[in-house]
Structure 1
Amino acid sequence: MSQDLRVFLEQLDKDGEICHVTEPVKREYEISTLMMELEKQRKYPVMWFDQVDGGDIPVVTNILGSKDRFAKAMGVKTEDLSFEFAERIKNRFDDVKLVENPPCDAHLITGDDVDLTLLPIITHFPIDAGPYITSGLTVAKDPETGCETLGFHRLQLKGKNKLGISFHSRQRMWEFFRKSEERGENMKAAICIGVHPNIALGSQASIPYHLGKYGAIGGLFGEPLEVSPCATMDLNVPTYSEIVLEGEVLCNVREPEGPFAEYTNYACFRSTENVFQVNAIRYREKPIFHDITPAMSSEHITIVSIQREGDITKFLKQNLPNIKAVHSPLSSCGIFHCYVSMKKTAEGQAQQVILTALGMDHHIKMVIVVDEDVDVFNEQEVLWAMATRLQADKGVMIFPNMMGETLDPSTGDDGLTAKMGIDATKPLSGYSPKIEIDENVIEDIKRLFKYVK
């Protein structure tokens, strides 16, 4: 399987999934406004803009905007995507494939010639503090173990060689920088723009801290990840990255960063206020600039939803019997709510599901457990189960003062949140039967559809 984003985009183009815009568009607001309007119409094409403010670097957006596209990238059926993700990241390839002379070696800018304004960095919404790189995967190593990680962190354009960056997720990158700062050192890092969807998805994998993300990404490809050395420091990055920014997160330096239109669909003023100094820019011949529309867009949320569904499914199936499906709906920003269907064989199992799911992911605020006859991917059915199978005084569990997501505007400054579990399953016996359609008649009545306008 090719690990090159360009090969993947060529296939999408052949399949008619890319819309090419040849007329000029502005960097400020136009692209994100168009994408949000298409969201309202439930249309999710890949949009390719040839001319952005007169520049010659095209901007491509919505590459990650649907589960179908991620499934195509992995070569699986859409309905199997989350489960396949969870399974494949366990099949690690920890020995990466080192490739010399990667395509992004075509152009190298260093020193005083570094100028980020040459890139078509987009200003997305009026609330944003300025232009933001939204698709950049930040790559760094643990200063103690050398274990690598990569992940999405918002990047505010602040100058020709300076970006604001925030580590508010309080996970690996935050920990790596904390260790570097304790040593009085800048954290060497690179930002990769324009990578294959499997690399983007693999960056979200929940794995033990002593393991690197590159091995998990290799599992998604079914082969070792191809990486290449940076030009100015000892760090390997995905070989086929369209653009690579090499630099360092400055020790003991903080500057205001934000606000930014986060995936919660609210302006986020919370930030760790770190500063990324760019020392070199490398890019491919005729590079492609990938932009992710922020706020509550499908491209911003779908990747998180897939990861949550896959990881929670894997974790629940390891600890509980008869788990049927798990869904992290886009209505909850793909992260805050979790719907689980199961074949209940003993009372109390739903409560065990709730405790297990909340315990494995601090982002989740609410878990709803339903019976196997409820489609968790259809929110109307989940709400129906709550309406007809739940008594709040018996089926609702509240957990106050738990660790939450700092980007959730309903949390306090300390990031603590209340969480809730809902058991919307039927008792094991004595409940009214659900009305069902005779499956044998479905084929027979299809002849009558011709009368329906």
Structure 2
Amino acid sequence: MAGDFREFLQVLEKRGQLRRIKTLVDSDLEIAEISNRMLQCGGPGLLFENVKGAKYPVAVNIMGTVERICWAMNMEQPQELEDLGRKLAMLQQPKPPKKIAQAVEFGKVLFDVLKAKPSRDYFPPCQQIVVEGNDLDLNELPLIRPYAGDAGKIVTLGLVITKDCETGTPNVGVYRLQLQSKNTMTVQWLSVRGGARHLRKAAERGKKLEIAIALGVHPLVIMAAATPIPMDLSEWLFAGLYGGAGVKLAKCKTIDIEVPADSEFVLEGTITPGEEMVDGPFGDHMGYYNQSKSCPLIRFNCMTHRKDPIYLTTFSGRPPKEEAMMAIALNRIYTPILRQQVPEIVDFFLPMEALSYKAAIIAIDKAYPGQARRAALAFWSALPQFTYTKFVIVVDKDINIRDPRQVVWAISSKVDPQRDVFIIPDTPFDKLDFATPKVGLGSRMGIDATTKVYPETEAEWGQQLESDPAIAAMVDRRWAEYGLADINLDEVNANLFGYDMK
């Protein structure tokens, strides 16, 4: 592993990407307002050292840029995330190597898996202080309330850890929790998530579900928990693969659950099946307040923490937010996995402005008529996280899918709405999407913005305008000679239009 959360904060501070705030601030609304302004401008992570009524400092906006997420994963450039994706793709669908080089590469991946196995820490830092029974008061945690219409204080970046009561297989997810009392919280999770499945299994057997919340872990462990790809590997192994070494785990004090040994805080409790309380409303990633609903109630009986712990938090909302930055990084990791499942896909992009999952732009190496529609349909079924993608735009491989000017040009010049737009009605959908006519049931749209071939069209397609290759190469060579060496066109595009040109 690449160290613990505290060591990552030191990395950020050394690189000028952490700002310590010593002024007194309020965890109610004020911290979120300050952080939101930093997120809007790509500003540094923040460590609030003087929080009103709180014993502990609050860290926020730690993963507020893709660059910082790359640092957390021992990388410098987003392109390196695709190398990690290729490793995961090889593990997901291994193929017999045909060449010695392929065998060597697969052997390296298997060795990485062995190195990634978690280990046990019998004297974990997360249990330096133990608080149990009546002494436990969750109000001592500096939980934030991000929006004025929120029902209460929340936990956002905690690892929610449960275990299958039959097989013992753990699930690690990142779900929102609402503080209900000094020792209770409600947890908001979708019915398809691992924690919800574990609760249903416990209910069938008449058992309580043990649950632990690990707060203040290294960001790459959070990234691993947020990676919902269909592989029979635990999130702990994912974190080990991400970090290059196994995660150190510790057994909880009062329940049979393992947590990261270097967590800043750990909350231990149980859920009694059927015991629920009203949760919400809260601001969510769609940019609206969601509706209140009954959610499972967690009763905590123990809190452990490190000496002088730091509380890590974030909040949802209309992008840019930290969750959007995480999604951009995960997009890079998914790309090789998606290519393996749908070979004609050259690249794909989930724009942050489309909530990082509602719209996808995919580039294909088109070889036959109807291929764009086939690619869109294959995309929707390739990975579970693409189930709720509302729009899929398919373009040719020469279109830079991260440049909206090129994508809009392809749609405008290559699409006939009647021929190239298709809609699939009444499909399972995100219940947080207010645009759907029925809760949990909506439609999807595919747009074929590729160059049409016969028999898709009977018209002769015009020749696309392009620079003369020889002249373009000459201008590249003479760019400094023109006195324009100080002008980097990619940087100009990025700064002027905010486009990711890489």
> How would you bin the TM-score normalised by the shorter chain?
over 0.9
Report SS of the residue matched to 1:11.
Answer: helix
Structure 1 residue aligned with 2:478, among 425, 444, 451?
A: 444
Counterpart residue number, 1:19? 19
Distance 1:355 1:142, change over 3 A: same
RMSD: 2.3
C-alpha spacing 1:224/1:391, structure 2 compared with 1 (3 Å): same
Out of 282, 299, 307, the position equivalent to 2:330 is 307
- SS state at 2:406 partner: helix
- Distance of 2:474 and 2:421 partners within structure 1: 39
Amino acid at match of 1:368: I
CA contact (8 A) 2:2 2:74 kept: no
Contact kept, 8 Å, 2:42 with 2:64, in 1: the verdict is no
For 1:320 and 1:73, how far apart are their aligned partners in 2? 30
Say which is worse superposed, 357-366 or 102-111, in terms of deviation: 357-366
Opposite residue 350 of structure 1, the aligned amino acid is A
Contact 1:370/1:425 (8 A) holds in 2:
yes
Question: For 1:39-97, what per-residue CA distance to the aligned partner results, in whole angstroms no more than 9, with x for missing partners?
Answer: 44x22310111111043411111112121112112223433254234334445457421
Q: Which residue of 2 aligns with 1:433?
A: 464
Report if the CA contact (8 A) 1:270-1:406 is conserved: no
Structure 2: runs of 5 or more not aligned: 92-108, 454-459, 493-502
Match of residue 102, structure 1, among 124, 149, 159 = 124
Residue matched to 2:30: 30
Task: Answer with 416-425 or 166-175: which moved more.
Answer: 166-175
Amino acid at match of 1:45: P
Paired residue for 1:418? 443
Are the equivalent residues in 2 in contact too, given 1:29–1:126 (CA < 8 A)? yes
Q: 1:168 aligns with which of 166, 177, 190?
A: 190
Q: 1:351 aligns with which of 338, 361, 373?
A: 373
Which range is displaced more, 82-91 or 140-149? 82-91
| Mean Cα deviation higher: 428-437 or 20-29 | 428-437
Report the Cα offset of residue 268 of structure 1: 0.8
Provide the secondary structure at the position in 2 that maps to 1:254: strand
Q: For the structure 1 residues 448 and 371, does the alpha-carbon distance in structure 2 shift closer, same or farther, using more than 3 Å as the test?
A: same
1:72 aligned residue: 71
Letter in 1 for 2:256: D
Cα 1:409–1:103 change in 2 (3 A) is: same
1:298 corresponds to which of 321, 324, 349: 321
Bigger mean CA offset, 83-92 vs 234-243 = 83-92
> Is the partner of 2:341 in helix, strand or coil?
helix
Query: Could you tell me which residue of structure 2 aligns to residue 404 of structure 1?
Result: 429
- The answer to whether residue 389 in structure 2 is matched with residue 364 in structure 1 is yes
The range that moved more, 214-223 or 104-113, is: 214-223
Unaligned runs of 5+ in 1: none
Structure 1: distance between partners of 2:266 and 2:288: 30
Which deviates more from structure 2 when the two are superposed, residues 3-12 or residues 81-90?
81-90
Kept in 1, the 8 Å contact 2:410–2:450? The answer is: yes
Could you tell me how far 1:277 is from its partner in structure 2? 1.1
Distance 2:261 2:65 in 1: 25
For the 8 Å contact 1:308–1:335, the answer to whether it is kept is no
State which drifts further: 296-305 or 205-214.
Answer: 205-214
Instruction: Decide whether the 8 Å contact of 1:193 with 1:242 is kept in 2.
Output: yes
Deviates more, 1:131-140 or 1:356-365: 356-365
Deviations for 1:227-248, whole angstroms, at most 9, x for unmatched residues?
Answer: 1111111111112111111111
**Which residue type is aligned with residue 261 of structure 2?**
T
Question: 1:22-61 counterparts in 2 under 5 A?
Answer: 22-40=22-40, 42-61=41-60
Partner residue in 1 for 2:157: 135
Measure, in 1, the Cα distance between the counterparts of 2:68 and 2:23.
26
Deviates more, 1:56-65 or 1:202-211: 202-211
Q: Structure 1 residue 206: deviation in Å?
A: 2.6
Contact kept in structure 2, 1:168 and 1:271, CA below 8 Å: no
Provide closer, same or farther for how the CA distance between residues 451 and 3 of structure 1 changes in structure 2, counting only shifts above 3 A.
Answer: closer
Q: What residue is the counterpart of 2:420 in the other structure?
A: 395
Picking from 255, 276, 287, the partner of 2:277 is 255
Letter in 1 for 2:143: I
Q: What is residue 275 of structure 1 aligned with on the other side? A: 297
Task: State the identity %.
Answer: 27
User: Highest CA radius of gyration, 1 or 2?
Assistant: 2
Equivalent in the alignment of 2:237: 215
Task: Determine the C-alpha separation between the residues in 2 that align with 1:229 and 1:117.
Answer: 25
Q: 2:358 aligns with which of 336, 352, 364?
A: 336
* 2:343 is the counterpart of 1:320: yes
Q: Secondary structure at the match of 1:273?
A: strand
Q: Deviation of residue 340 (structure 1)?
A: 1.1
**Alignment length (residue pairs):** 451
- 2:83 equivalent in structure 1: 84
- CA distance in structure 1 between the partners assigned to 2:355 and 2:199 by the alignment: 27
What is the alpha-carbon distance in structure 1 between the residues aligned to residue 405 and residue 415 of structure 2?
15
Distance 1:309 1:364, change over 3 A: farther
- Evaluate the alpha carbon distance shift between residue 70 and residue 212 of structure 1 in structure 2; reply closer, same or farther with a 3 A threshold: same
* Structure 1 residue 348 displacement after superposition: 2.3
Equivalent residues of 2:278, 2:292 under 8 A apart = no
**What residue in structure 1 maps to residue 142 of structure 2?**
120
Tell me which moved more, 327-336 or 207-216.
207-216
TM superposition shift of 1:209:
7.2
Deviation at 1:34, TM superposition (A): 1.5
Q: Quote the offset at 1:343 in angstroms.
A: 2.2
The Cα offsets for residues 151-174 of structure 1, whole Å up to 9 and x where unpaired, read as 111111111001111112622121
1:18/1:47 contact within 8 Å kept: yes
- In structure 2, give the amino acid aligned to 1:262: D
Partner residue, 2:499: none
Query: What's the offset of the Cα at 1:191?
Result: 0.6
1:279-290 to 2 correspondence within 5 Å? 279-290=301-312
Query: Matched residues in 2 for 1:362 and 1:29: separation?
Result: 33
Secondary structure of 1:264 counterpart:
coil
How far off its partner does 1:313 sit? 4.3
Q: Counterparts of 2:262 and 2:32 in 1: how far apart (Å)? A: 26
